[in-house]
Copies of this chain bind each other. A is one copy, B any other.
Amino acid sequence: MNPATNATGELASLMDALGRAAAAAARVIARATPAAKSAALTAAAVAIRDRREQILEANRCDLEQARERGLSSAMLDRLLLDEKRVEAMARGVEDIASLEDPIGVATAEWTRPNGLTIRRVRVPLGVVGIIYESRPNVTADAGALCLKSGNAVILRGGSESTHSSRAIYECLSAGLRAASLPDAAIQLVPTPDRAAVGYLLSSMTQYVDLIVPRGGRSLVERVRKEARVPVIGHLEGNCHVYVHAAANVEMARAIVLNAKLRRSGVCGAAETLLLDAAFAGGAVVVRALLDAGCEVRGDARAQQLDPRVKAATEQDWGTEYLDAIIAARVVESVEQAAEHIEKYGSAHTESIVTDDAEAAARFLAAVDSAIVLHNASTQFADGGEFGMGAEIGISTDKFHARGPVGVEQLTSYKYVVLGTGQVRP
């Protein structure tokens, strides 16, 4: 027998078994009571705290292997768990447990002239596949969000976090068992075989209803290319702050600093500053960035604001730095700012700072991004900050889910029609 064929056949059997089990569990979990789902999540949080030592031990094992493989320090930091991060993970699961249950909620209801009552009711999507990279806490977040939204989930973590993800996954399983919910509602692909990802994306369409990639650009692009089922994912956040002529200088300074530097590695971090030519405080804002240790790369006019501003190239306008670097350009108007954003942006999050309500309204209407803000930092681009609870990412798609993807965005709906014998004329 050809060993390669054998391996593929084994992988296919393994993955199909996961898919079948997930589909069966999805039917049960879709109709589980809110109390049962909350109980499972609460028990999972308890298990995470109880097994803290095992989780940290598993993580040390992953870190050791990662160091041997020469992973970058940024990668190692993403992989690292400590007591604080484990506690945050447990609390995150509890937060999801305490969210309002989205399933069965009627989001609209109306009665037709013929007496039919039509109700649009939230239902789960079915089986969700989540493919993620090094952060092991995604195991807990994604598992909990899918359970809360009544979906079964197949988790596929990065090879570098195998042991950590497995240890966390076992806590979720313990939670399901404590609430007498099916084990297969949350499954972790048990093989490191890289072909499993391809199989999940393209050969399990009869079991999987949605794929959510959570990771860097190359992962998301691969998923988009290969997936034969719907995908929710964001490519990147090339976010802009536009400081209008009528902006308050102090507010502009505070918002720009926060938008860029509060955390420069998140997708809601500002990557380009657009300064209106008529804004008097451009130099103040740019100096504040430079003084805070941020590199500024400007066009010719932005360079005139401070001698420390380096020259931007065309490439800078399209770059998501995820670092303490910002591109800066001087524009003539709201419209030119909106044009720049349309040309170079990624339709994620953009903010205008101005005291002129009419200019703000024009900007908010003209810019077609998932999130547009007036007089607030782009770093508010976050499901928690929106009051939606935990999220699985920010979608820059326009289809199905846009912006923060929380429990509601992991649902579909059906129409329940109540009659008294109506037939159609």
Contacts and interface: CB of A to CB of B under 8 A. Distances in A.
A417 B387 contact: no
A380 interface: yes
Nearest to A26: B368
Judged by DSSP, the binding face of A is mixed
Contacts of A385: 112, 116, 424
A70 interface: no
A69 to B, nearest CB: 35
Contacts of A366: 31
Interface of A: 30-31, 110, 112, 116, 118, 123, 125-126, 209-210, 230, 248, 251, 254-255, 257-259, 262, 364-366, 368-377, 379-380, 382, 385-387, 398-400, 402-403, 412-424
A417 B262 contact: no
Closest CB pairs A-B (n = 4): A376-B419, A258-B423, A398-B412, A400-B400
Nearest to A257: B423
A236 B248 CA distance: 58
B387 A255 contact: no
B415 A371 contact: yes
B424 A258 contact: yes
Contacts of A377: 422-424
B402 A400 contact: no
A143 to B, nearest CB: 21
Contacts of A368: 30, 123, 414
Given A209-B398, A375-B419, A382-B424, 7 more contacts: A125-B398, A209-B399, A210-B399, A248-B421, A374-B418, A376-B417, A398-B412
